[in-house]
Amino acid sequence: MASIILTLVGPDRPGLVSRLSEQVAARGGSWLESRMAHLAGQFAGMVLVSLPDDQVEALALSFEALHADGMQVLIHHGAAIPRTAPPDPLLVLELVCQDRPGLVRDVTRVLAGSGVNIEEFTTDILSGSFSGETLFHAEARLRVPTAIGTDALRQDLERLGNDLMVDFKLTDPAVG
């Protein structure tokens, strides 16, 4: 079986996910994971599928109809799908602060400097409940190297929080 990552971008409209999933299923594939969103009037997504090796080319050809409708579909060959979790602990970071240019750069610089791997990163803009100001909200699933530890990462984030007035919460999803 081949591990295939599909990336998609194009005009959003009803039925896109259905059309895509029909093509995967028609070739004996399994839809394993996906992240999809409506961004600036466009549909953007990533999908991990498992597919018989001899069906990869047929799947690629089946997307020509989507290409004709303005959807760009790229196919990437992935590595074998691991069935065990990585040994480093998983933490969830949630932060909220006043929006400003360079914010994602500053937060991810701290994480990269600590050797943290970002497995999932979701951001959005919110309206402050009382002030109406624009707030930036992010949630990230992080793999923190055991050698670094949660306390050291928390201290690095607290320094960033003090400098940029960022409120953050770092939690272990296994603890709840």
pLDDT digits (tens, 9 = 90+) for 72-89: 999 999 886 565 656 788
Residue ranges of domains in the chain, CATH in brackets: 2-77 (3.30.70.260), 90-171 (3.30.70.260)
Q: Would you place residue 70 in the very low, low, confident or very high pLDDT band (cuts 50, 70, 90)?
A: very high
d(CA 34, CA 44): 11
**DSSP class of residue 84?**
S
Dihedral angle computed from the Cα positions of residues 45, 121, 117 and 144, in that order, rounded to the nearest 10 degrees: -140
What integer pLDDT is reported at residue 42 of this predicted model?
A: 95
Q: pLDDT tens across 137-171, in order?
A: 999 999 998 888 888 888 888 888 777 777 888 88
Q: pLDDT tens across 83-116, in order?
A: 565 678 889 999 988 888 888 998 999 999 989 9
Whether the model pTM is above 0.85: no
Chain-centroid distance, C-alpha 175: 22
What integer pLDDT is reported at residue 127 of this predicted model?
A: 82
DSSP result, 103-143: HHHHHHHHHHHTT-EEEEEEEEEEE-TTT--EEEEEEEEEE
Task: Using DSSP, state whether 80 is helix, strand or coil.
Answer: coil
